[in-house]
Amino acid sequence: MQDPRSNTHVVEATHAQSALGQTHPSIQRQIWHFARHYLEMCVAMCLGGTALALLVFRAAPAVLGIQDLRDTAPAAALIVAAVLYTLPMATWMRIRHMAWRPTLEMSASTVGVAVIVSVLYGMGVLSLATLEAWVAAGCAPWCAVMLIPMLFRLPLYTGRSGHHAS
Ligand SMILES: [Cu+2]
């Protein structure tokens, strides 16, 4: 049997301790933490995603003797591309001991933007040229979209909440 109140006090004490400084990095360190984390995820996206995109859009169709999805169904290709660029990024986040929730939030952001752009194209709001520009841009749009969930979780990505084990 445990007094729930004593439990609360323990939690409060732990928070106060971390707020007192030992895990409160300087602004420069926070900016560096944010930038480094962002660049790591961008590199994972651009290297891993580009390799996967080549495989799925070029190598596999060549082997199977089918057409490039980007030519036959560019709206679907954009969503597939977003998934392919997101997978290595999400894998990297897990390798870096990020929790599932921010990992899935970020994955949902990139794939979500791809779905929105594809739907807008389907509705005739965006032209084929715009859609093709998104597809041709490779990892760039997804790297940019990652900033949105990052800004919503600044304490996590600046290292203030101390999510990293190391
Ligand atoms: Cu990420």
How far away, in angstroms, is 149 Cα from ligand 1 center? 9
Within-domain flag for 165: no
pLDDT for 22: 54
How far away, in angstroms, is 67 Cα from ligand 1 center? 31
pLDDT averaged over consecutive 10-residue blocks of the chain (166 residues)?
46 45 77 95 98 96 94 96 98 96 97 98 97 96 97 92 52
Residue burial 121-140, b: 16+ Cβ < 10 Å; e: rest: beeeebeeeebbebbeebbe
Could you list the residue range(s) of the whole structural domain that residue 121 is in?
Answer: 25-157
pLDDT for 10: 43
Within-domain flag for 109: yes
pTM for the full model?
0.81
pLDDT for 14: 43
How far away, in angstroms, is 29 Cα from ligand 1 center? 19
Within-domain flag for 3: no
How far away, in angstroms, is 39 Cα from ligand 1 center? 10
Number of domains in the chain: 1
pLDDT for 12: 45
Residues near ion ligand 1 (CB < 5 Å) are: 41, 89, 93, 106
Within-domain flag for 63: yes
Within-domain flag for 10: no
Within-domain flag for 133: yes
Within-domain flag for 20: no
Within-domain flag for 107: yes
**Amino acid, single-letter form, for residue 22:** Q
Q: pLDDT, tens digit, for every residue of 108-145?
A: 999 999 999 999 999 999 999 999 999 999 999 999 99
How far away, in angstroms, is 5 Cα from ligand 1 center? 37
Contact present, 148 and 12 (Cβ < 8 Å): no
How far away, in angstroms, is 106 Cα from ligand 1 center? 6
